[in-house]
């Protein structure tokens, strides 16, 4: 049986692998820290990722759409950003026109007057 020729252990493959790992690590790190930056002022959003701190709002909407959502009783989010694009205020809005049905109230709705 013939033996396979062995390659010299010069380290070039391990160097390429190490370099590839460093490049991939830097790309992942940059992706983790790159968030959407918004212009200074107030922005309205339909959804937000509340599992992170600070929360990351998504699905930006217009102020008109936010008032439509409020009139329909659906929630929306309002966020303020400073000049560097960082989140300074984040508030969840719900419509006050939505009320619980009388049977859900503790007194059975006796105190509710039409």
The pLDDT of residue 114 is above 50: no
CA 106 to chain CA centroid, Å, is 37
| Predicted model pTM | 0.51
Say whether pLDDT at 100 is over 70.
no
The pLDDT of residue 94: 74
The helix/strand/coil state of 30 is: helix
pLDDT higher at 19 or 10: 19
Q: What angle do CA 58, 64, 69 make, to 5 degrees?
A: 65
Residue 75 near residue 69, CB atoms below 8 Å:
yes
In tens, the pLDDT along 42-89 reads 999 988 877 777 777 888 899 999 888 888 888 888 988 888 878 888
């Amino acid at each position: 049986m013939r033996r396979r020729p062995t390659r010299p252990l010069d380290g070039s493959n391990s160097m390429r692998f190490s370099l590839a790992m460093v490049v991939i690590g830097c790309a992942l790190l940059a992706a983790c820290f790159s968030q959407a930056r918004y212009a200074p002022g107030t922005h309205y959003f339909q959804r937000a990722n509340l599992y992170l701190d600070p929360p990351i709002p998504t699905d930006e909407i217009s102020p008109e759409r936010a008032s439509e959502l409020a009139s329909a009783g659906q929630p929306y989010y309002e966020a303020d950003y400073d000049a560097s694009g960082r989140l300074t205020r984040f508030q969840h809005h719900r419509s006050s026109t939505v009320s619980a049905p009388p049977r859900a109230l503790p007194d059975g709705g006796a105190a509710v007057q039409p």
